[in-house]
Amino acid sequence: MTNTNPVILVVNAGSSSVKISVYVVPESAHENVDIQPTLVAHGQIEGIGVAPRLVARMADGRSVADESFPVEQVADHDAAFRLIRLTLQIGLRDTPPVAIGHRVVHGGIDFADAVRIDDDVIARLETLIPLAPLHQPHNLTAIRAIRGAAPDLLQVACFDTAFHAGHDPMAQLMALPFEYYERGIRRYGFHGLSYAYIARRLQQVAPDLAEGRVIVAHLGNGASLCAMRGGRSIDSTMGLTALDGMPMGTRCGTIDPGAVLWLAAQGMEPDAIQAMLYGQSGLKGISGISSDMRALLASDAPRAKLAVDFYAYRAAQEIGKLAVTLGGLDGLVFTAGIGANSPDVRARICAHLADLFGIALDAAANSENCQRVSRDSSRVPVLVLPTDEEGMIALSTARILRESGGL
């Protein structure tokens, strides 16, 4: 591939994986901030430190790499990032990037928008590690690795919390002594990059609905819901951390804080409690089988069914709560891995909402993951929209690159 337009890398570093997407900034984006950079390649390494596997493809589906590696060769995120970057650059004929955008899970009270990364930003993000222990350390590892290899390269942090930054205090408060709120102990909300994309996408596919009261269900291994009015976040099911809200693949969601106090009183160490709440609970904890919704739906085990039913029940409850916040409901959107690809889960959730909101799914459209899966007679339209968090990161990175004179 020969390219004369600027190239942006988007990095999404998880607990056991590193994903990198390569975008080209179109000529027209130099003046128009709303022009979406074009995806040209994507790669990821999974199983870092356990069973590393690299898969990389061009946007047209052409394979660049599909290879497994010895653990010692990809033992940590630094090694993973170097390998995947080299692989993608070979596929792009060594076209150097002019900027790199990172998904950063927690921005705290300091960051309400994407920001250029410097030493001060890194220092402030480090203080938020206890609030996002599964994600923030790995986000920072990728940032430091690039700063070490290319200190002059523009890096941009794009935050999962930023889309929710304008919440009213009613949506942020927890009933602790107020001094803790002033110190930043408040409900933030997450998956903001996904919700920002869906708000943008709704403007394109259903502009009238986008101006109304919409609940978006981002259902994946991590899961949350967001109440939007006029394309802005009003409230979210997640709170101070990405542990709150509905149950997830391995995360517990909302629980009585007294349960945590009981575990501590029984002698369970804080690290063990954290490991259980983040990694051994949710679908995996209830079913005793798997955190993978597909495996649970395929299983005949009673606890697998219990886990799926509880997941749908809690999602419906959260939709009801957010509808109260909005003062009604004009539309429901499902997105992310489960939300966009599991007709069964959507049907189970919507069955709980039928009487209250008059939601009626079209069975055929739902089974095919159509864009609109509700019947014409449904009082509330139900849509399925795949999300694109990496695309939103690329858009924000291109904006900051433009503001810095790089375009």
Does residue 292 sit in the same domain as residue 231? yes
Total structural domains within the chain: 2
* Residue 194 φ/ψ, nearest 5 degrees: -65, -45
State the pTM of this model. 0.91
Examine residue 73 and state whether it is found in any structural domain, yes or no: yes
Does residue 218 sit in the same domain as residue 366? yes
CATH code at 47? 3.30.420.40
Examine residue 114 and state whether it is found in any structural domain, yes or no: yes
Does residue 224 sit in the same domain as residue 144? no
Does residue 154 sit in the same domain as residue 217? no
Strands 53-58 and 63-68: antiparallel
Does residue 47 sit in the same domain as residue 116? yes
pLDDT (0 to 100) of residue 65: 81
pLDDT (0 to 100) of residue 1: 44
Examine residue 249 and state whether it is found in any structural domain, yes or no: yes
Does residue 232 sit in the same domain as residue 155? no
* Catalytic site positions: 160
Strand order in the sheet with 115-116: 63-68, 53-58, 38-46, 17-24, 7-13, 99-104, 154-159, 115-116
Determine contact, residues 380/358, Cβ cutoff 8 Å.
Answer: yes
Does residue 124 sit in the same domain as residue 228? no
Does residue 220 sit in the same domain as residue 142? no
Examine residue 191 and state whether it is found in any structural domain, yes or no: no
Q: Which two tokens stand for residue 266?
A: 């029984």
Examine residue 401 and state whether it is found in any structural domain, yes or no: no
Examine residue 35 and state whether it is found in any structural domain, yes or no: yes
What contacts 24+ positions apart, CB below 8 Å, involve 71-80? Answer: 74/45, 74/48, 74/49, 75/48, 75/49, 76/48, 76/49, 76/141, 77/13, 77/18, 77/48, 77/138, 77/141, 77/142, 77/145, 78/141, 78/145, 80/17, 80/18, 80/45, 80/48, 80/52
97, 125, 159: which is the final residue of a domain? 159
pLDDT (0 to 100) of residue 328: 97
Strands 154-159 and 99-104: parallel
Examine residue 173 and state whether it is found in any structural domain, yes or no: no
pLDDT (0 to 100) of residue 96: 78
Strand order in the sheet with 213-219: 232-236, 223-229, 213-219, 331-335, 382-384
HSE of 13, CA atoms in CB hemisphere, 13 A: 31
Determine contact, residues 228/162, Cβ cutoff 8 Å.
Answer: no
pLDDT along the chain (407 residues), means of 10: 74 79 79 79 80 85 85 78 65 73 93 95 94 87 83 94 95 96 94 96 96 97 96 97 95 97 97 95 97 96 98 98 98 97 98 97 98 97 96 94 80
pLDDT (0 to 100) of residue 406: 66
What is the spatial distance between Cα 47 and Cα 69, in angstroms, rounded to a whole number? 10
Determine contact, residues 302/310, Cβ cutoff 8 Å.
Answer: no
Does residue 101 sit in the same domain as residue 213? no
Secondary structure (3-state) at 72: helix
Does residue 49 sit in the same domain as residue 130? yes
94, 126, 159: which is the final residue of a domain? 159
Residue range(s) defining the domain that contains residue 363: 208-389
Examine residue 313 and state whether it is found in any structural domain, yes or no: yes
Determine contact, residues 176/185, Cβ cutoff 8 Å.
Answer: yes
As to burial, measured by CB atoms within 10 angstroms (0-12 exposed, 13-18 middle, 19+ buried), residue 368 is exposed
Does residue 278 sit in the same domain as residue 350? yes
Does residue 140 sit in the same domain as residue 25? yes
What is the spatial distance between Cα 399 and Cα 404, in angstroms, rounded to a whole number? 9
